[in-house]
Structure 1
Amino acid sequence: MKTAIAFAAMTALLLPAALSAQNAADPVFTPAAMRAHVEFLADDLLQGRDTGSEGHEIAARYVASQFDGLGLKPAGDNGSWLQRITFQKTEFDKTPATLTVTGPAGAKSFTHAGDVIVGINADQPHLDVTAPLVFVGYGLENARLGLNDYAGLDVKGKIVVTLRGYPKGLPSEEGAHLSATKGKIAESHGAIGMIAFNTLQSAKARPWARMVQFADEPDFTWVSPEGVPFNAAPGLRASAMLNDPAAQAVFSGAPTTIAAIRKTADKPGGKPKGFALKTGVTIKADTVSQRVTSPNVVAILPGSDPKLKDEYVVLSAHLDHIGVSAAKPGDAPDKDRINNGALDNGAGIATMLEVARAMAEAPDKPRRSIIFLASTAEEKGLLGADYYARHPSVPVRQIVGNVDLDMPLLLYPFTDLIAFGADHSTLGPIVAKAVAPMGVTLAADPMPQETIFVRSDHYMFVKQGVPAVFLATGYANGGEKAWEAFLGGAYHHPGDDMSQKIDWTAGARFAEANYRITRAMADGDAAPLWYQADFFGDTFAPTVSKAAKP
């Protein structure tokens, strides 16, 4: 790509002045403004905005300067725009990690990034764990949903073997959440490790070759202000993923074959029963850790209503991307290895900035206060949003709702939106009503196999009891084909840059939709509420008032 950084910066800075004559009820969103922001953020000079990199720091200063120019209030550390976060970054050392299976067929070793992917544990810099194995089905436990995969199984001091994903027929968002908590469930039963293998369904959603591509990515976790690295399941010493040859070795001598287990799992409601395996594993890995810092960028637009201004709506988008890919043997010297992240998530940040501009310039300001959050380390596991949700600018009980913007696919003229999480709270009808005048409809999750509900920043607000949705462009009007092509091509690759045929008119339309949604949340007489008897509301906000579900 050509470097257009200076032109993009000048354009972005000039646009707000040119648009200041908007009508408050119908603010103007232009393709040029959206393009200008993305053109800056996706420029080669920012080197893919990796967490802890200079490129991300430049992007953070860009967002802060935009907030400053709009007259917003800084809401970072000590009156600044930046909430500086310390991260622990852990990588494999030079010695390859291994997983060795022992059992009736003898011993067989597998090397990391071959037929196994060994997990990184920063608490175990010289990991050497040997333990027997127990198959625990999906490894899920929830009385409300009738899940009890550990019933009758003794896993104390052992390593559990689980299927990836969750049973067919389980609601996708509840299933995605429970899948994300498998480690904590295993730890609660005394397990010291967890390894997993694919179902037929999960293998289609994320084939082994795709998983191995990212096997050597560093592991990140945030460090508390007291200097303690966060670990959701510190009792689990070891983890790994298995490809079929390693999985077959693990199930050597088992009373049930992997094929039979997968056949059961592929049926609606199928829940393969667990049993002790006749094998054990030894997992070895050497790792090295260092501390790096990277900022969230946070601003507040104060509300105009004396009674509601102490309630806050968060509009969030992640600013980071995945940086520069390592060179591979045989690569041409001039091969493009910069993952620019134009759509993921330059487009989401651009949307947030344009919504902030429209709200700041509106003569009738929102009734509730708005927090604009450009988070870091989303690509490392939603870490910047998790840190912010646990260390917010205002007491978390005053945050009444969150809308997250991540990777809007601006490659076609969208006519529908997917609001992941909309079924759990009154945010669903708020979103639907807000975009209806645009001729935009709300669609159900069309790709539940991707477990997207737990893969974007809004999920971290949900876990703090805040009603939240993640908005993406939908499958209608050519969207399905566009999504399939992007996820199988430019996604997390250098192709996600300004050379794509981005529909900037769709970008302006997406910004307008999010303006309408955020204003509806901020201006409504009632704050968003979880629905009565909702799984997430009851799990994370059991004592707050709930709304009757229509």
Structure 2
Amino acid sequence: MKRSVLLPPALLCAFLPLLGGQAPWETPARSIAAERILAHTRVLASDEFEGRAPGSPGEEKSVAYLAEQFRSMGLQPGGSGGSWTQDVPIVGVTSDVALSLADSPGGGFRPLAFPADFVAWSPRLEPSVAAADSELVFVGHGVTAPEFQWDDFKGTDVRGKTLLILVNDPQVPDPRDPGKLDPRVFKGNAMTYYGRWSYKFEEAARRGAAAAIIIHETKAAAYPWFVVVNSWSRERFGLQGSTEPTVPLAGWMHLDQARRVLAANGSTYEKAVAAASRRDFRPIPLKQRVAFSSRQTVRPVRSRNVFAALPGSDRRLRDDWLIYTAHWDHLGRNPKLDGDGIFNGAADNAIGAAGLLEIARAFATAPVRPKRSVLFLSVTAEEQGLLGARYYASRPVHPLARTVANINIDGLNPWGRTSDLRQIGQGSSTLDEVLLATAKARGRTVLPDAHPERGTFYRSDHFEFMKQGVPAIYINPGGHFLGKPAGYGESKLAEYIDRDYHKPSDEVKPDWDLSGAVEDLQVLMETGWRVADAHRMPAWKPGSEFHRERP
């Protein structure tokens, strides 16, 4: 008599690929469909949702839509007490700024033109902020980086002064090959966090500056001036109750205006950049004086993260969590614009939120569940400085010590199939190998960030999880498009940045081809499932700036 042996579902799933059966993620991954991604994107990016700004009617509609989609999939609420949302208390500040320069001490002040010469705001929660006569000091890149033995301030007291700062990192030539940047200093061509605008304002605040003004240069910033105008010239948000220091005035100066300032001091922008790339650089007092005032409109806002949960199947591991993220917010609407004033944010990031919904649906319809639990988290206020992700990472619903990984979706490929995909932040953790194996099994390759100098690694929600010790994956579209000429992907990306990024024209395009988005989501779903079923948590690699021991 033959005896049959019944294996537990989790064990059976582990052995299926070895026995010639189907891996548990295959059927749900194949169900991921371009039509559903596009349908969700059309809704979230519609004029009815008004650009999805935090604290707006567009937020109410976005949160309700996401929660209802999660509910209809049969997922469980992500929060305690049956809640589909996590309150994120933020505060909005609208600044009406006047900024003037005097060409010498005691000279008359002349106003700069907004937004032609500058864009500025104050993060202070006060009715008004002002400085009547502040010394202007050029501080290079405004960086203090002990690990690179770099200090732009050299002990200079900048309290009460206005700092003029270069964007990005110091561009230090490699002594072995002066045509390249030194990889031992600020990671060479790759932007570090010291190059981000957020760091520069934080450092200025820590040093007691009256104002911090970054010189905008399109290549170094990785986006043109209109992005600065559209992103920073209206209401800005911060987390309520934050104890982090803030500079009274933060802003950007147009490169043409900066050139005029430097020329009045007998210098040029190019000379200033070269000087700031030397270790012996010291702050340079400029002859101009600065006066500014800002009338502030402040309002508290209860924004929300939206989340849903899929409990794990393994009793020992179901208290571990894999988190998929995608931000739902964008820039809202600007009634001061002529014509279309709605920033629909189709590619940034309605399509990413749609991708999150489609992955969640695929997991929810799978015949078996992964061993660990999965949280699908759509966060608020990414465009305001990753605020929703920062809030969750500092007040997690599920302990970060039991959070195995974050897989972040910020944008998807709308231009067709690629043979590759680009991993942002490659080399940080053992998630690299999981992603690589998954892509290889699907006949695809994983390449590093094509443009590390743009600082994309620090510009999306995964960064807040990594800062708290959670390994993360964030991918961008690949560059090798099937059936397209070489350079097609780069040209489409450049076209998007120039024509649509942070503009009202970021809408669903009639020529979108989401076949590549589907295949990227399939890779992300399978990667996540593999992580959720793995015996051990992903680990940090030695040398990672986020390295810490994990269970």
1:318 is displaced (CA, Å) by: 0.8
1:409 is displaced (CA, Å) by: 2.6
- Corresponding residue number in structure 2 for 1:127: 129
Distance in 1 of aligned mates of 2:146 and 2:321: 34
Deviations 1:260-300 (A, max 9, x none): 113456x7x78854333333312211111112222211112
- Corresponding residue number in structure 1 for 2:3: none
- Corresponding residue number in structure 2 for 1:359: 363
- Corresponding residue number in structure 2 for 1:317: 326
Deviations 1:82-102 (A, max 9, x none): 112232111134xx5223334
- Secondary structure (helix, strand or coil) at the match of 1:423 reads coil
Amino acid at match of 2:239: W
> Relative to structure 1, is the Cα distance of residues 161 and 124 closer, same or farther in structure 2, using a 3 angstrom cutoff?
farther
Note if contact 2:194-2:200 (Cα within 8 Å) is conserved in structure 1. no
> Relative to structure 1, is the Cα distance of residues 43 and 243 closer, same or farther in structure 2, using a 3 angstrom cutoff?
closer
Matched, 1:166 2:184: no
Amino acid at match of 1:508: V
- Corresponding residue number in structure 1 for 2:94: 91
- Corresponding residue number in structure 1 for 2:492: 482
> Relative to structure 1, is the Cα distance of residues 358 and 278 closer, same or farther in structure 2, using a 3 angstrom cutoff?
same
- Corresponding residue number in structure 2 for 1:56: 59
- Secondary structure (helix, strand or coil) at the match of 1:428 reads helix
Matched, 1:495 2:505: yes
Amino acid at match of 1:194: A
Q: TM-score, normalised by structure 1?
A: 0.84
Note if contact 1:427-1:469 (Cα within 8 Å) is conserved in structure 2. yes
- Secondary structure (helix, strand or coil) at the match of 2:361 reads helix
Amino acid at match of 2:102: V
Deviations 1:348-389 (A, max 9, x none): 122212211222222331122111101111122211111111
Distance in 1 of aligned mates of 2:308 and 2:136: 49
Unaligned runs of 5+ residues in structure 2 are: 1-21, 172-180, 482-487
- Corresponding residue number in structure 2 for 1:232: 244
- Secondary structure (helix, strand or coil) at the match of 2:535 reads coil
Note if contact 2:310-2:374 (Cα within 8 Å) is conserved in structure 1. yes
- Secondary structure (helix, strand or coil) at the match of 1:118 reads strand
Distance in 2 of aligned mates of 1:450 and 1:305: 41
Distance in 2 of aligned mates of 1:167 and 1:476: 32
- Corresponding residue number in structure 2 for 1:471: 475
Distance in 2 of aligned mates of 1:304 and 1:33: 27
Note if contact 1:164-1:202 (Cα within 8 Å) is conserved in structure 2. yes
Unaligned runs of 5+ residues in structure 1 are: 1-20
Deviations 1:129-148 (A, max 9, x none): 23223322111111212321
> Relative to structure 1, is the Cα distance of residues 321 and 212 closer, same or farther in structure 2, using a 3 angstrom cutoff?
closer
Distance in 2 of aligned mates of 1:460 and 1:545: 17
> Relative to structure 1, is the Cα distance of residues 414 and 339 closer, same or farther in structure 2, using a 3 angstrom cutoff?
farther
1:325 is displaced (CA, Å) by: 3.6
1:152 is displaced (CA, Å) by: 4.0
Q: TM-score, normalised by structure 2?
A: 0.84
- Corresponding residue number in structure 1 for 2:440: 436
> Relative to structure 1, is the Cα distance of residues 214 and 80 closer, same or farther in structure 2, using a 3 angstrom cutoff?
closer
Match 1:386 to one of 390, 409, 414: 390
- Corresponding residue number in structure 2 for 1:16: none
- Corresponding residue number in structure 1 for 2:450: 446
For 1:74-473, what aligned pairs fall within 5 Å after superposition? 74-76=77-79, 78-93=81-96, 96-103=97-104, 106-107=107-108, 108-129=110-131, 130-168=133-171, 169=181, 170-171=186-187, 175-176=192-193, 179=196, 180-198=198-216, 201-202=219-220, 205-223=222-240, 228=241, 230=242, 232-234=244-246, 236-244=247-255, 246-248=257-259, 250-251=261-262, 254=265, 256-264=267-275, 272-328=281-337, 331=338, 335-473=339-477
Deviations 1:240-262 (A, max 9, x none): 32224543565476475433113
1:306 is displaced (CA, Å) by: 2.5
Deviations 1:313-352 (A, max 9, x none): 1100011222234353xx4xxx444333222222212221
- Secondary structure (helix, strand or coil) at the match of 1:422 reads coil
Note if contact 1:105-1:252 (Cα within 8 Å) is conserved in structure 2. no
Amino acid at match of 1:87: I
1:46 is displaced (CA, Å) by: 1.9
- Secondary structure (helix, strand or coil) at the match of 1:48 reads coil
Matched, 1:522 2:532: yes
Identity of aligned residues (%): 30
Amino acid at match of 1:514: L
> Relative to structure 1, is the Cα distance of residues 342 and 259 closer, same or farther in structure 2, using a 3 angstrom cutoff?
closer
Deviations 1:497-549 (A, max 9, x none): 23331113223222211111211221222211111122232xxx4xx249xxx
- Corresponding residue number in structure 2 for 1:533: 543
Distance in 2 of aligned mates of 1:439 and 1:273: 52
For 1:30-69, what aligned pairs fall within 5 Å after superposition? 30-69=33-72
- Corresponding residue number in structure 1 for 2:485: none
Matched, 1:507 2:510: no
- Corresponding residue number in structure 1 for 2:174: none
> Relative to structure 1, is the Cα distance of residues 119 and 173 closer, same or farther in structure 2, using a 3 angstrom cutoff?
farther
Deviations 1:458-515 (A, max 9, x none): 1111222211222221222232122111111122333332333111322322221111
